[in-house]
Amino acid sequence: MNERLIKEIAMKHFILYGYEGTKLAKIAEEAGIKKQSLYHYFRNKDELILKMNEEAIDEEIEFLKSYFREPVAKPLDEILVTFLTDYKQRYLTNDNLSFMLLMAFMPPSHLCQVFQPSYRNYYSHLELLLERVFVDHSEVIRVSPEDGAASFVTFMDGVVVQLFYDTPQAFDHALRISWDIYWRGISCG
């Protein structure tokens, strides 16, 4: 038994049942250990979820850095839409992103002061990476790269909420009906 396996099981439980519905006894049972053995790794559920959140944020920041590492010789609108569709796919297939968004949108109330700054850190990284993309394509936008990145993150929040609270189809629908309006608002053309 190791800490990584416990966190993998716990992540699935937090995603399915939320903070309140996740029970350490059930995690231990699924891991094939006694509940008391969990305390060898984590003092309590708060320590477990805080460690998992920290790792999830770090992993997602690394994903963003990797995703935007190389400049792409595609039109800006194509880069941004592709990122959104890739983000949707990552959300659907990667528990880490699902967990991170769960903790961002629905953190345990007594831990909000911890989760909100960590999620803001994630968004700060995303905005900085997007600013570089907008700088590389500044000839096609009528806003500053900083405003372009900030507006895109705000737009992204709107469609991701559809994915988080509704369905992938709701995400697709929101993206389809709002993308042209967003793009016309920031582009020169």
Report the chain's mean pLDDT, rounded to a whole number: 94
For residue 189, is pLDDT > 80?
Answer: no
Same-domain status, 143 and 64:
yes
**Domain match, 100 and 33 both:** no
Q: Do 100 and 175 fall into the same domain?
A: yes
Both 98 and 20 in a single domain? Answer: no
Domain count, the chain: 2
Shared domain for 19 and 108, answered yes or no, is: no
Residue 138 CA from chain centroid, whole number = 26
Which CATH number goes with the domain that contains 130?
A: 1.10.357.10
Instruction: Tell me the per-residue pLDDT of 112-165, one tens digit each, with 9 for 90 and over.
Output: 998 899 999 999 999 999 999 999 999 999 999 999 999 999 999 999 999 989
For residues 1 and 72, state if they share a domain.
Answer: no
Say whether both 37 and 66 belong to one domain. Answer: no
102 and 142, same domain (yes or no):
yes
Backbone region of residue 134 per phi and psi (left: phi > 0; alpha: psi in -120 to 50; beta: other values): alpha
The residue segments making up the domain with residue 19 are: 1-42
